Amino acid sequence: MNIRLIALAALAAVGTAHATSLSPAQIDAARGVDLKEVRIYGASAQTPALAAYMADICGAMDTYRIGTDHVAYACVTTKDAKTGSQGYAAGTKLLVVKRDAGGSAWGVTPVAAELPEKSLLVNVANCGTGYVPGGSTACLSTATQMAVPHAGISDVEPALHVAPFTVNKVKGVYLNLPAGVDDGGLPWAPPVKVTAMDTAALGQTAFGVAVSPALYAKLQAAQGTTGVPTVGRAQVAAVLAGYVRAAAGYAGWSALTGDVADDAKTVVICRRTAGSGTQAASNAFFLEVGALTDTATGMLEPLTTATAPVNAFDTSIPGVSVYHGSGTGNVLTCLTTNPGSAYALGVVTGERDDSATTWKFVKIDNAEMTNANMRKGLYPFVYTSSMQWNKAENLTIGRDKAMMGFLGHVRANAANVNFLATAPVPRVLALPSHWSNTTESCASATGNNALYGSCVERLDYGSVYNPASFLYGLAASKNYKTNSAAPLRQVR
11/353: higher pLDDT: 353
Q: How far apart are CA 164 and CA 331, in angstroms?
A: 26
- Give which of 219, 472, 209 is closest to 363, Cα–Cα: 209
- Per residue in 355-364, pLDDT (tens digit) is 989 999 999 9
Task: Give the mean pLDDT of the chain.
Answer: 88
Compute how many other C-beta atoms are within 10 angstroms of the C-beta atom of residue 443: 9
Per-residue pLDDT at 384? 93
DSSP string of 31-87, one letter each residue: TTTTEEEEEEEE-GGGHHHHHHHHHHHHSS-EEEEETTTEEEEEEE-SS-EEETTEE
Domains of the chain and CATH, by start: 5-101+115-148+393-422 (no CATH), 204-376 (3.40.190.10), 435-492 (no CATH)
What whole-number percentage of the chain has pLDDT above 70?
Answer: 90
What does the pLDDT average to over 450-461?
85
Degrees, nearest 5: CA angle 43-61-121: 60
Per-residue pLDDT at 310? 54
- Per residue in 415-450, pLDDT (tens digit) is 888 888 887 778 899 988 888 887 888 999 999 999
Q: Sign of the CA dihedral 214, 219, 225, 229?
A: negative
Is the pLDDT at 469 greater than 60? The verdict is no
Letter for the amino acid at 258?
G
Q: How confident is the model at residue 208 (pLDDT cuts 50, 70, 90)?
A: very high
Letter for the amino acid at 213?
P
Is the pLDDT at 223 greater than 70? The verdict is yes
Per-residue pLDDT at 71? 98
What whole-number percentage of the chain has pLDDT above 90?
Answer: 69
Per-residue pLDDT at 362? 98
Per-residue pLDDT at 179? 84
- Per residue in 234-248, pLDDT (tens digit) is 999 999 999 999 999
- Alpha-helical segments (H) within 139-212: 158-162
Per-residue pLDDT at 422? 81
- Per residue in 292-346, pLDDT (tens digit) is 999 999 999 999 865 445 556 667 788 898 888 888 888 999 999 877 778 999 9
Sequence-separated (6 or more) residues with CB below 8 Å from residue 293: 163, 165, 166, 299
- Per residue in 11-21, pLDDT (tens digit) is 343 333 345 88
What does the pLDDT average to over 11-37?
77
Q: How confident is the model at residue 471 (pLDDT cuts 50, 70, 90)?
A: very low
Per-residue pLDDT at 473? 41
Distances (CA, A) of 93 to 50, 88, 154, 408: 17, 9, 27, 18
Is the pLDDT at 3 greater than 90? The verdict is no
Letter for the amino acid at 90?
A
Per-residue pLDDT at 119? 97
- Give which of 325, 348, 326, 349 is closest to 338, Cα–Cα: 325
Q: Indicate the length of the chain as a whole number.
A: 492
Is the pLDDT at 478 greater than 80? The verdict is no
Per-residue pLDDT at 151? 98
Per-residue pLDDT at 5? 36
DSSP string of 326-352, one letter each residue: SSHHHHHHHHHHS-TTSEEEEEEETTS
Per-residue pLDDT at 216? 97
Q: How far apart are CA 344 and CA 270, in angstroms?
A: 7
Q: Sign of the CA dihedral 221, 226, 231, 232?
A: negative
Per-residue pLDDT at 462? 52
- Per residue in 86-96, pLDDT (tens digit) is 999 999 999 99
Is the pLDDT at 276 greater than 60? The verdict is yes
Compute how many other C-beta atoms are within 10 angstroms of the C-beta atom of residue 362: 22
Q: How confident is the model at residue 195 (pLDDT cuts 50, 70, 90)?
A: confident
